[in-house]
Amino acid sequence: MKKIFSYWVLCLMAFATSALVSCSSDDNGDEWGGFQFENVRDGKLSVAANQTSSEIIMKASKAYRAYVSATSDGSSTEEISWLRYEGSRLDDGTCHISIQLDKNDTGKSRSAYIIIVCDDKTVPILITQTAEDSSNVGGDSDVDNGGITALFTITKECSVITGTHVEDDGTETYELQYQNGNLTRFKHVERDDMAGASDKYCIETTTGTIFNSGASIKTDWNRKSIYYPSQKTEEDVADFNAKLENGRIVSGTIFKSWMNGTRPFEISYNADGTMKQTRYNDISEYDGSDDWDNHTFIWENGYLTKVKCESMDAVSTFAYDKTTAIPAPFDKALDLNMLLILEEAEFFDGTNGEILNVLAIGGKLGTRSKGLIKEYHCDWTEDTPFTLKMTYKKLTSNEVIVEVNHYENNQLRFGYKWTIKRS
């Protein structure tokens, strides 16, 4: 009887504090209590002992009045002082419910509820603060490295440019899901047109789930291609395993279903946590012999200025905007400098490169470079040297818009418009 009474007390408390939010039956996210959540699974949200802020993210399309309150776990009416509701905001159809927590130094996990009330629906979200701290990243905790739980949706509008003629080359989409400061999911969808083939185009979807134990990282990587109109399907998988030290990837292996053997890699770091060298072994498909590519990273006053690979006769150089402030969470959680060269950077061109590039975006390859990248130049003998030039059209906490132009032999060849939204 006491539990029932306490529950109704909590519901009444929930109506005491109000905010205008929206709820919907959108198909995206996890459904719980009739609502769609981006970062809540089965009505539960877990945070680390040293994490002092988080948020509940609900997709929204149909407006409701909502009343939110931080409460106990329902078994008693005692005050929960370590968990506080800090208000909410509505952003592009998504409601962000902000909560604040005290650091958990009790030595054991603790739980309480956030009760969400929308019209006649009451939804309890169980917040559990663990006894363990989050993993360190580049010498800082995940809280300092963003501590964010959010979904970033990204579009990349592509153009082919010949002189004054600009041809639409389709739009690629990305999703990056963060949980408690860690990148946990990656998705990339692109269309490839095939002139003269029996099939006219192919939709290629790459998804990656990233598991971080604190001591290691494992990813389940899947690439699925569907051809149209035949609807023929091809599917490839990759198993990536890496060892973590101080929150940074130091070594590991990757196995890809379309290649022979497992490829090892190694990464070393400078004393300040910045990358010093990467080594990939692109084992020969013909005779299984070793083929190590070593890349050396050169830094000046916290800025990554050059990456050299002698075996490939390749040099990458960078230029930065050193004055514009980078808004959170892009200052720590999502590295724009690594995102905007995704699939372009020569030093991520090896067998292990794609996944490592994604993990670099998520902060697992050491201390990031200062500044905002405004130019990237690749000089190599394996292909045509090229330059990327970045123009930032919008730079806010919730949306970034960047135009990237790709030059070869001083001629503009490709254009990309990146739109990154936090939801």
What CATH number does residue 371 fall under? 2.40.160.190
154 plus 117 within the same structural domain: no
27 within some domain: no
Per-residue pLDDT averaged across 109-124, rounded? Answer: 76
- Whether 154 and 203 map to the same domain: the answer is yes
Residues 124, 154 within the same domain: no
Residues 307, 415: one domain?
Answer: yes
Residue 354 domain boundaries? 150-422
Residue 372 lies in a domain: yes
> Cα–Cα distance between 85 and 71 in angstroms, integer?
9
Same domain, yes or no, for 211 and 83? no
Residues 155 and 87 occupy one common structural domain: no
Per mean pLDDT, which range of 70-79, 156-165, 299-308, 388-397 is the poorest?
A: 70-79
Residues 188 and 264 in one domain: yes
Q: Give the pLDDT confidence of 199-223 residue by residue, as tens digits.
A: 999 999 999 999 888 888 998 889 9
Q: Is residue 16 part of a domain?
A: no
Which neighbouring-strand residues pair with 193? 201
Task: Look at the chain and report how many structural domains it folds into.
Answer: 2
Q: Give a yes or no: residue 343 inside a domain.
A: yes
User: Last residue of a domain, which of 100, 129, 158?
Assistant: 129
Asked if residue 166 and residue 120 are part of one domain, the reply reads no
Amino acid identity, residue 150?
A
Q: Which pLDDT score, from 0 to 100, does residue 243 have? A: 93
Highest mean pLDDT among 36-40, 81-85, 137-141, 414-418: 414-418
206 shares a domain with 120: no
Residues 244, 195 within the same domain = yes
Query: Per the confidence metrics, is the pTM higher than 0.95?
Result: no
- Do 99 and 215 fall into the same domain? no
Per-chain mean pLDDT for the chain: 80
pLDDT at 28: 42
Residue 238 domain-assigned (yes or no):
yes
- The model's pLDDT over 382-403, given as tens digits with 9 standing for 90+, comes to 889 999 999 999 999 889 999 9
**Together in a domain, 248 and 396:** yes
User: Which is higher by pLDDT, 113 or 269?
Assistant: 269
Question: 13 in a domain, yes or no?
Answer: no
Q: What is the pLDDT of residue 220?
A: 86
In a domain, 9, yes or no: no
Indicate whether 137 belongs to any domain.
no
Q: What is the CATH number of the domain that holds 67?
A: 2.60.40.10
